Every structure is written in structure tokens, then in C-alpha cells.
Structure 1
Amino acid sequence: MTAAVRKRGQWKSPWGFVLAAIGSAIGLGNIWRFSYLAYDNGGGAFLIPYLVALFTAGIPLLILEFGIGHERIGSAPLALAKVHPRWEWLGWWPVIFVMFGIVLYYSVIIAWCVDYVFYAVRLSWGADPDAFFFHTFLGASGAPSRIGAVQTPVLAALVGVWCLTWAIIVRGVSRGIELANRIFMPLLLVLTLILVGWSLGLEGAREGIRAYLRPDFSRLAEPKVWISAYGQIFFTLSLGFGIMIAYASYLPHKSDITGSAVVTALANSGFSLLAGFGVFSVLGFMAHSQGVGVEQVVTHSIGLAFVAYPKAISLMGPAGKVFGVLFFLSLVVAGLSSSVSIVEAFTAAVVDKFGTDRRTLAGVLCVIGFVGGLIFTTQGGLYWIDIVDHFLNAYGLVVVGLLECVAVGWFFRIETIRRHLNRVSRIPLGPWWNWVIKLVLPGILGVILVQQLVEELSRPYGGYSWASLIAIGWNWVLVTLLASFILAMRPWHQEADLRKGRGDGR
């Protein structure tokens, strides 16, 4: 066993790794974003492009990221540097923009969920959840340039979110992340099953399920529907974050990598489908109670959780308070399991590169994360979240995924990764997988990227001013990209770490 393997933390069991990977993949978007996309893109017919995307893009790319981390034995920067030193920056970029971008606002959204757990007890949103959320709770200023004051309830909850994240990260891989996910994932499943079972028994639930699953096959002719399906699969599996590479590097030599990737992907998608039944059962109940169609109560993304659901909870009577607490608690659990994985991806990268003490680093990162997230707790924070989320997801993650395929598929012997995976895994990969990585995935991600750029240049995203989009969105992307090149130029504390991995590639 090499020194690189001996000094790395390891999962106590293969299932500990799988639970952690599933915990990273399953997040807030599984509960509200998938359901809305299905409704908005042909109902049950959306499942066709969704499943095609899962098997042609999601699982192959997840196998690639698991394979890179396991075969090259390292976090994203170390693993990509072992592929070729010139590609080290590609490992740094995702862990930088998820740590100093995505997790900053994601932790604030988790803080919203924490606050709503307590609000549900007294139905604090009153008769108008829409006005309560946007005006009373967030104090939305109307524009990103009008930052305004910090919202105290959000700030207080954010302190708790980062304290819990620190407590998990500082304990390391087996005693921290693995243990937390052994608690979080079963708890999330139980909470979700209770909520779905409860929702299915509500009056009008059948109408909601019909709206969720009713197939409109004519929508399959629209390119937008297919792009939405591939985009959802890509983002929901934490691909391009650098997380799955780091997690796989903590596995022992003999590990079922391909099997773990399949289980992780199917569990993630299965959870999305399950949560969708609960979401639309509640929307059907709302529609029935108010005497309107389901399409009139569906609100996009964040509004679905913080406006539509509170309205439904208020209509449930005394039992609604219990339902509300369980719902928002499930969001907190889903969010925490994902945010912890993001911080761990960056922690692993810095420890690999500079040999920094994990405990010290965890404390520093959580403090920086909390301070960096303050901008999103202000009255202009909602608009900052929207812009930063759009740019980092639409460009950062897609470009990283595309370049990972190019780097490993064309500038490294991809056959080395495939042979390694076949040696340690139960599910063998044929030569077809090489070509999926080399041609199919770059083509799909390239189409998504071009489509995003065309839309971006045709009109300003979200109706924001070009000045706001450049100052916040584009600058966030470019600054994190510059930081990745700067860190890649720094020397490794142990040059021996750059030696080849478990396989025979160099």
C-alpha cells in the first residue's frame, strides 16, 4: 500500500460511502425542483427524457468521477493533476466555486428551512404566505443593487447551520461524514415516507397525482424538454462539484465502484420520483380546497416550498402544524447532507495540496462560509442567490463536466480507468463506455452550454440589468476560475503525492 493510500481517511464500510454519496446527491432540489420540471415539461412524458438522461449521461459520468477519484487516489485537484499536471486547475475550479459560491447561498436556504420549522408550529405566515415570505421574512428589496439590512431570523439560523456543518466536518470521514449520513439518510427516508403517505390520503390528492403524471407526449418534440431533463440529472447527482471524486478516493482498493454509482444514481432518482408524489398530492389538496385547477397553485422552485406548501399546511387544520414541521425538517436534513459534502470536497483538496490540519481548516472554512453567506441574508439576498445560482450551475458545472470528459477521454488513457473499474467492480464496463465519455457526453454538455449562452446573450437573465449580471454572475465565475489557476501553480507539500494511482496509467 502506498503512502498516499495509508494517510488518507477511509470509509468504515462500502455502504457508508454509498450513503454519503446519496446524501450529497439528494438535496433541496430533489423535493421541489424535479416535481416542478416534470409538471412543466409534459408530466409523465417527462420521465422518458429523464430516464434516458439518467442512463446515457448521469450514470456514465458518475462512474467516471468515482473512477478518477478511486484510481488516481485523490481529491479533485490531486486526481486531475495525476491525470496530467496541466489539468490540476480543473480540479480546483469546481471545489472553489462550490465552496465560495454554491454552499454560501445553499446554507442560507437551509437556514430558511430551519426558521420555517419553527414558523410551522404557530403557522406564523398567517393568511398570506406569499407576502410573509417575500416581504416579512426576506424583506425583499426589489433589486440586487439594493442590498438593505440583514434579516435577523435568517442570520440566527445560519449560525446554527454552520456550527453543525463544522461539527461534522471536523470529525473526519468515518467518524463525521459517514456517521452523519448513517443518521441523515434513514431519517430523511422515514420523514419522506410519512409525508408522502399522509399526502396521498388528503382530499384532492388524486387530482394532484394526475397533474404530476398525466403524459403530454407532444412535448417530447421540444428540445427544451430534453435539455431540462439532462440538466436536472447532471445537477442532482452532484456531478462537476468535485465531491464524488473526493468521496471515491476514501474507498479501499477492492470496492464495487460501478455498482456503487448505479445504486447512488437510482436511489437519487427514485427519491425524486417519490417526493414528487407527496408534492403534487399536497397541490391537489390545495386545488380541491380552493376550487381551482392544480396549475393555478403551482409556483416555480423556491415559491413551491415557501409559499404553496405553507398555504396547504394552513388548510389542513390542527394536523397541518405537525405536517409542516416534518416537511421543513426533511428539507433541513436533505440540505445539510449536501452542504457537508461540498465543504468536504474543498477540505480534502486543501489537505492534499498543503497538508493543512483538518481541524484548523474546518474551523476557518466554516467561519469564512458564514461571513461569505451574509450577503445572501440581506434584503437583496434573494436576487443575489438567483444570479449566483444561475451562473455557477449553468456555466461552472457544465464546463467542468465537459472538460473532465475531454481531459480523461482524450488526454489520458481512458482505457486505464475502465480496466481499473472492471478489476474492482462487479458490473463490467464494455468499450462503449469509453466512447460515451469521449463523444456522447461532451456532445450533450456542449449542446446545453451553447443553448444557455444563446439565451444569455439574447436577453438578460431574469430581467436583471446587464450591470448586475456582469458584476455578480460573470465576475463570480471568472474570479473563481482565476483562483483555480493560482492554486494550481502552488507547489505540493509532498511531490510524491503526484505519482500514479492504483492503475497503470500515468
Structure 2
Amino acid sequence: MTEQPREQWSSRTGFLLAAIGSAVGLGNIWRFPAIAYENGGGAFLLPYLVALLTAGIPLLIMEYTIGRKYRMSPPVALRRMARPAETIGWWQVVISFVIATYYAVIIAWAVRYMGFSVGQQWGDDPEAFLFGDFLRAPETPGFMDGFVSGVLWPLLAVWVVVLVILAFGIRNGIELANKIFIPLLGVLFAALVIRALTLDGAADGLDALFTPNWSELGNGSVWVAAYGQIFFSLSIGFGIMVTYASYLGRRSDLTGSAMVAGFANSSFEILAGIGVFATLGHLAAAAGVGVHEVATAGIGLAFVAFPAVISEMPLGGLFGVLFFGSLVIAGLTSLISIVQVVVSAVQDRTGMGRLPAVFGVGGLIALVSILLFPTESGIFLLDASDHFINQYGIALAALVALVVIVWVLRQLPSLQQNANATSAIRLGVWWRICLGVVTPIVLGWMMVDSLRAEFDENYEGYSTGFLLSAGWSVAVGALLIGVILAFLPWPAGGENPDLDMEAPAERKDH
């Protein structure tokens, strides 16, 4: 069969916007501010910067290099290193599949809350509105509940948008969408932050966030939190950056691109911290309480605390549209990248065309998402799945991949040589030490620390049966399905993963 040249980004800027769009997601807005506040305030920025330089950027460079060198999605790229390593790649693909199914639901909530902001339909009790009127969540989680139409229809819309963008391919779909979405996100969020800074009490919120508690630097959990935040916010460990980098030209600057993407992501997180805590300072002042009493994270921050602020501030409806609009755009750019991992893996292994892969594989992800999560117990399924797939999927898969690539296959010297051949900033011993020693130790400690907490008490007080069925089974199932996919007899006609199928035209400097 005649091999088709692999799609490529039209420019380095296009790739960077896509990479930044993937990294900047919901966690930047609702996770980083709370993590920083709880772990030393302004002092947290020191371990955060150390984690970025010793784990985040080195891992980004490694994933960029693997993607560009082997020009394939994670399963085939890792198989080209060593056939058994393909299992790790499929494990990452299944993790992306799982994350995509529930990530889309949160975007759907944000779509609805853009509309709710105009009339402030949550009334005087945003928490009761979220869990009762909107999500119709029961007291305890169950299975096979009724559908929640108010979540179902925006979820359908989210999936239509994502699949249509992916159907247009790398340049005309993903790259073009990010060229529109990322500048728009910057404008929306800048406007939101400026408005937040003008609120009464904003200074108190910023003092609470940035006043350094230097004594916390001696606490090991603070450093683990810093590495965890960097790790989970940069879209590393589950195949996204390997996939995106596989569409780069052969002469692309990898280390420089990793630096730009890493610092852009961190800058957005700090900006998000300013906007969030300025807003929380206003909420605390209005309620006559300390900032610590209103500081929260995740769903509680976005869909309970922020609506409470919107209800009592001047021009609250506009502020709400800006905030939830930012969540929608940040979520979409990340969701597109997550689904692309699965689509690309199937394309590379089967030779399937773009449209059949997007609407077949992407359609399957959308179907699972629509069947499971816009239900009355969907919030509980989402919470458990997210916790376990993050802790025992992404982090564990990254740890295994690092150990295999660095210590078993000893690929770092080859990858370093490949990156240095075209990069302005050359890699040295520091890069190998970070990936061979520092990052595996930190990831290993995160595993131990997380498991210890897991066995001390059930996550969020859920029943053991529910956690086994909706949490542990998801994490373990991702690994088992990855193993099965690695050993499946794939249909003839796909890329031969044992050969370098690089077309002559792709050797040119694009």
C-alpha cells in the first residue's frame, strides 16, 4: 500500500497554541489556586517552580522527543522502542478514553451555567440548586438512574463541536480551533481578572493567597503537592504530548517549545489564582467571614462559590458569562487533545482514514459519555472515576513509562541526541538526572502517599462497593484493556510499527 504523508502543524505557533490549549484546562482555574493557598501561599511558588523545572519541562521535552522521533501515537511510538512497551502506550490511550467521557460533562455544566448567570437562576442557595434542581443528585450514588435532560442536551452539543473540529484534521481542525480559542480565552480571562480586582475585598483575597508561610517549605507534603499540580496540569503522562509532537516537522525546536508551553501554562495558573482569590475575597467580605471560610476548589468553587459571588455583585451576569465562558473554552481545547490521542492511536495501528476514525472512535467515546454521566448519579460516577484514573492511571502509567524508558530500555541518551540536534537549548546531565532520579522518586512517593490515604478511609466517604465498581475497577480496567489491545491481532493495512515509515517528503525542514 502507498503510505500517506503524516499531517503536520502549519507552524511552530500552531503547535504551541494547541499544546498550551491542551495544558490549560479546568484544573488550572479551579485546582491551582486552592492548592497554592493550602500549601504555604506565596511560599508555594518556590516548590512549584522547582517542580516545573525538574519534572514538568523535562517530561514535556521527553514526550515531545518521542512523538517527533517516531512520528506516531504512543502505542506505536513505544513499540518502536521495544515491542512489549506498546502495552504502556495503549494503557495511556485507554486512560484518555476514560477521561474524555467525563471531562465533556463538566464542560456541559459550564455551558448551562453561562445561561444561568444571566438570570442568576440558582437563587439564594447555589449549592442546593446545583445538586438538587440542576443535577438531581440522590443522597447516595446508584446505577441506572434516570437521565437529566438539562445536562444531556448541552453534552450532545459539546460532543458535536469536538467531533466536527477533529474531523477537519490537524491543521484545519485542531490548529485552527486553538488559534481562535486561545486568544479568546486570554481576552475573556483577562477581562474577568480585571473585574475581580476592582471588587471590594479583593485585596484581602490576594493577601490570603500570596502571603508566604515559609515554614511550610519544610513540610514534605507541600513539595509533593507542587509536583502533583505541575504533573496533572501539563497534560503529561497519558499520551497527549507524544501524539501532538508526532505531527511536528523534523527540524522543530523541542526544548524551546517545552519551555514556552510550560511557562505559559504556569502563567495562566497564577493569573487564575489572582482572579479566583480576588473574587473569594469579595465573597468573604460580603459575608463578613474570613477568606479561609469560603476558599474551596473544584466543583464547589466553580458551581457554588462563584454563583454566590455573581448573585450579589454589580453586573454579576456579565461576570458569570466571562467566568463560565472561560471554563467552556479551556475545557474544549483540552478535550479535543484528549480525544485526539485515541483517534490517532487507532489510525496509526489500523490505517483507518481520518473521518471513520473520528466518527467511529470519537463517536464511541461520546456514546459512553452520554450513557453514563448525564444521569442522576452521574456526579458520583464522575467524582470517583476522576479520582482513581488520575491517581492510579495517569500518575502510575507515567511512573511505569519513565522506569521502562530510562532504566530498562535506556533510551534517554538517544532521545537527548535527537532533541539536541534541532533545539536551541541543549539538554545535559541535568535532564537525565531529573527524569532518571528526581521524577520517578516523586511519582513513587505520590503513589505511596495516595494509597496510604486510600486505605485510611474511603474516598469521600463512599461505600466500598461503589468505590470498587466506579473507582478501582476503572483504574485497573484501564490497565487490563491496555494489555489486551497491545496483543490484539490488528487488521492488515495499518502502519508497520516495527519500521520507520517516515516518507521522504517528511524529512524536509517544514
* Partner residue in 1 for 2:208: 211
Give the letter aligned to residue 499 of structure 1.
D
* Partner residue in 1 for 2:31: 33
Checking the alignment, whether the CA contact within 8 Å between 2:495 and 2:501 is kept in structure 1 is no
In structure 2, C-alpha distance between the alignment counterparts of 1:415 and 1:167, rounded to whole Å:
40
Q: CA deviation at 1:289?
A: 1.6
In structure 1, C-alpha distance between the alignment counterparts of 2:366 and 2:344, rounded to whole Å:
19
* Partner residue in 1 for 2:313: 316
> Cα gap change, 1:67/1:453 in structure 2, threshold over 3 Å: closer, same or farther?
same
Checking the alignment, whether the CA contact within 8 Å between 1:61 and 1:437 is kept in structure 2 is yes
Q: 1:381 aligns with which of 378, 388, 393?
A: 378
* Partner residue in 2 for 1:168: 165
* Partner residue in 1 for 2:500: 499
What whole-Å deviation, never above 9, does each CA across 1:369-423 have from its counterpart, x for those lacking one? 2321232211111111111001100011111111221222121332111011000
* Partner residue in 2 for 1:238: 235
Q: TM-score, normalised by structure 1?
A: 0.96
The answer on 1:262 being equivalent to 2:272 is no
Checking the alignment, whether the CA contact within 8 Å between 2:15 and 2:248 is kept in structure 1 is yes
Checking the alignment, whether the CA contact within 8 Å between 1:33 and 1:301 is kept in structure 2 is yes
In structure 1, C-alpha distance between the alignment counterparts of 2:272 and 2:174, rounded to whole Å:
24
Give the letter aligned to residue 135 of structure 1.
G
In structure 2, C-alpha distance between the alignment counterparts of 1:329 and 1:476, rounded to whole Å:
30
Q: CA deviation at 1:367?
A: 2.8
In structure 2, C-alpha distance between the alignment counterparts of 1:172 and 1:429, rounded to whole Å:
32
In structure 2, C-alpha distance between the alignment counterparts of 1:356 and 1:336, rounded to whole Å:
25
Does the residue aligned with 1:109 lie in a helix, a strand or coil?
Answer: helix
Give the letter aligned to residue 489 of structure 1.
F
Does the residue aligned with 2:225 lie in a helix, a strand or coil?
Answer: helix
User: Where does structure 2 lack aligned partners over 5 or more consecutive residues?
Assistant: none
* Partner residue in 2 for 1:126: 123
* Partner residue in 1 for 2:410: 412
In structure 2, C-alpha distance between the alignment counterparts of 1:336 and 1:66, rounded to whole Å:
22
* Partner residue in 2 for 1:331: 327
The within-5 A match list for 1:25-174 is 25-99=23-97, 101-145=98-142, 148-174=145-171
In structure 2, C-alpha distance between the alignment counterparts of 1:7 and 1:298, rounded to whole Å:
51
Give the letter aligned to residue 350 of structure 2.
F
Does the residue aligned with 2:421 lie in a helix, a strand or coil?
Answer: helix
Checking the alignment, whether the CA contact within 8 Å between 1:147 and 1:381 is kept in structure 2 is no
Does the residue aligned with 1:145 lie in a helix, a strand or coil?
Answer: coil
Q: 2:457 aligns with which of 436, 456, 459?
A: 459
Checking the alignment, whether the CA contact within 8 Å between 1:142 and 1:380 is kept in structure 2 is no
Q: Which moved more, 1:287-296 or 1:176-185?
A: 287-296
Give the letter aligned to residue 171 of structure 2.
S
In structure 2, C-alpha distance between the alignment counterparts of 1:494 and 1:10, rounded to whole Å:
17
Q: Which moved more, 1:218-227 or 1:334-343?
A: 218-227
In structure 1, C-alpha distance between the alignment counterparts of 2:497 and 2:101, rounded to whole Å:
34
Q: 1:274 aligns with which of 262, 271, 274?
A: 271
Checking the alignment, whether the CA contact within 8 Å between 1:62 and 1:261 is kept in structure 2 is yes
The answer on 1:360 being equivalent to 2:361 is no
In structure 2, C-alpha distance between the alignment counterparts of 1:254 and 1:499, rounded to whole Å:
17
* Partner residue in 2 for 1:307: 304
In structure 2, C-alpha distance between the alignment counterparts of 1:406 and 1:421, rounded to whole Å:
20
Checking the alignment, whether the CA contact within 8 Å between 1:141 and 1:147 is kept in structure 2 is no
Checking the alignment, whether the CA contact within 8 Å between 1:98 and 1:241 is kept in structure 2 is yes
Q: CA deviation at 1:489?
A: 1.5
> Cα gap change, 1:500/1:441 in structure 2, threshold over 3 Å: closer, same or farther?
farther
Checking the alignment, whether the CA contact within 8 Å between 1:81 and 1:498 is kept in structure 2 is no
The answer on 1:283 being equivalent to 2:284 is no
Q: CA deviation at 1:222?
A: 2.1
* Partner residue in 2 for 1:485: 483
Q: 2:186 aligns with which of 145, 168, 189?
A: 189
In structure 2, C-alpha distance between the alignment counterparts of 1:342 and 1:27, rounded to whole Å:
11
User: Where does structure 1 lack aligned partners over 5 or more consecutive residues?
Assistant: none
> Cα gap change, 1:351/1:497 in structure 2, threshold over 3 Å: closer, same or farther?
farther
In structure 2, C-alpha distance between the alignment counterparts of 1:320 and 1:144, rounded to whole Å:
33
RMSD: 1.7
In structure 1, C-alpha distance between the alignment counterparts of 2:100 and 2:376, rounded to whole Å:
19
In structure 2, C-alpha distance between the alignment counterparts of 1:89 and 1:286, rounded to whole Å:
49
